[in-house]
Amino acid sequence: MLKGVHDESGKFETRKEETNPPICRKDGGAGTRGRTCRRKPSLQARKHRPGTTVALEAEVSARRDCKLEGYQAGSEAQRGSSDCRDETRDRTPVAGAARDIDRAAGDEKKESLGLEGPLYGRHLTKVQRETLREFIDGAQATETVATICGHLQMHPRSYYRWKRNGLSENHGGGGGRNKVTPLEEKRVLAMVKKNPSWHCRRVAYQLEKRATVFIGKTKVAEIMKAHGLNHPFERKASRPVIEPADMLLHEPWRRNLLWGMDWTWVTVDGKFMFLLVLLDWYSRKILSWGLHPQITKLQVVALVTDAVATERLDLLPAGAMKPIVVADHGSANAAKYTKHNIEIQGLQLWLSGIGRPTGNARTERVIGTLKREEINLQEQYANETEAKSSIGTAIWDYNVNRPNQGNGGHAPNAVHHSGRAELMKRRIRARQKAASLRRNHWEQGAPPSDTSLT
């Protein structure tokens, strides 16, 4: 805008004045109106100083690479910095080339022995092991054992074991001293011939349960295959992948934390009856069951009450952790009467998701076992008494005798009362004892007696 002013001489002048002049701070920053002043009185004018800049660059480079002190500004620092950088550039390709040469030498050595790819866990012949050991011994002058083994793609412990224990024709299984004895193989064959329908897993679990042979299912399968007693493998169509429910994220770590409940139908004298089952998810043990002509809220509450009385949960102190009952969305489970009576006993009712068969998968698996091994083998039961007797016997055998894969081969009743961790410790001790007896057998040349492995 134009504004008229009078100067000291009395003359009238017109000059252009800014409407909102910026308010500058003394430090040269932004003013109150957000504008930055062009003039910064606190900063000095910038000058070109090549000597100081080069000296600072040389000092930083010297601290990182050469670790020299006392650099001065000027041409001396520039020369020192350039020398250090040139030396660093020259060192890197040399080290990389050396590594490539070592790796190429290792590949050539493996190729001369007919080996290809990683050697981790592979069974090598005596000649191959001896050649690799000599190669590592000769290359230790320039590289460490770990580096050489890395080029060969093998574990350093293998080299130290070959050097410490010597080389023998037998490789693996403790140098041949942990092989299955003839007595153990005879017992495995006797069990297989007695139960021809059993597969290797059940044979191994049953022999371990009787404390006669302590070997894994893989070795049992090898023995069965060597004698032509193995079962043909039948590949079935893959099942569709269904996303698991949220409750499967909770894995029970002891008994009576998660219970599963479900039912299936049974043919009795030409009519349908329903088998109602409740089991513990930790041990897979069937805690209570019932055979009814129909399933209502009364049968469901009676089943849960029976399980509570069997496990003596009513004697637990106040505030103790009690199970969560998992069931599907059946009308008998979703009734208010069912939920109210279950909560009165201190338990919770957890209904699995609709359309998610994996929500109660652990219970469905147990019911499938009962149907395959008992219910489906009967065309129909003559009467209700016969049905309860046969199904009760099958459930008792499932709880007490039948090995369960989810429990590591132990029966549900044993896991429910002793715990899975304690049973696994007993298995480890038994297998260690069996391995010790095998070593004594092959070292002394005398077959162990029948009582030595029990």
Kindly list the structural domains of the chain, giving each domain's residue range(s) and its CATH number in brackets, ordered by start.
182-234+420-444 (no CATH), 255-418 (3.30.420.10)
Q: Enter the tokens of residue 91.
A: 């060192």
Q: Enter the tokens of residue 298.
A: 């009364």
Question: Tens digit of pLDDT per residue, the chain (454 long)?
Answer: 444 544 545 444 545 444 455 455 555 454 544 444 455 444 455 454 444 444 444 444 444 444 444 444 444 444 444 444 444 444 444 455 556 667 888 888 888 988 888 888 777 888 888 899 999 998 888 889 999 999 898 999 889 988 887 776 665 555 567 889 999 999 999 999 999 999 999 999 999 999 999 999 999 999 999 999 988 878 878 766 545 545 556 678 899 999 999 999 999 999 999 999 999 999 999 999 999 999 999 999 999 999 999 999 989 988 888 999 999 888 999 999 999 999 999 999 988 866 666 678 889 999 999 999 999 999 899 999 999 999 999 999 999 999 999 899 999 999 999 999 999 999 999 999 999 999 999 888 765 555 444 4
CB atoms within 10 A of CB 380: 13
416: three-class secondary structure by DSSP: helix
Helix (H) or strand (E) holding 286: strand 286-292
Based on C-alpha coordinates, what's the Rg of the chain? 41
Q: With beta carbons less than 8 A apart as the criterion, state whether 130 and 88 touch.
A: no
Q: Enter the tokens of residue 48.
A: 């070109």
pLDDT of residue 91: 47
pLDDT of residue 253: 87
* 204 CB-side CA count, 13 A: 20
pLDDT of residue 74: 46
Task: Kindly state the DSSP code that residue 140 receives in the 8-state scheme.
Answer: T
Determine the residue type at 266: V
What is the distance between the alpha carbons of residues 156 and 161, in angstroms, rounded to a whole number?
9
Give Dmax (Cα) for the chain.
135
What is the distance between the alpha carbons of residues 253 and 421, in angstroms, rounded to a whole number?
10
Beta bridge partners of 277: 262, 289
* H helices present in 62-144, as ranges: 75-112, 126-139
Determine the residue type at 174: G
Contacts of 189 (CB under 8 A, 6+ apart): 223, 227, 229
pLDDT of residue 214: 93
22 vs 18, 91, 303, CA distance in Å?
Answer: 9, 59, 86
What is the distance between the alpha carbons of residues 108 and 114, in angstroms, rounded to a whole number?
10
311 vs 38, 244, 349, CA distance in Å?
Answer: 86, 29, 18
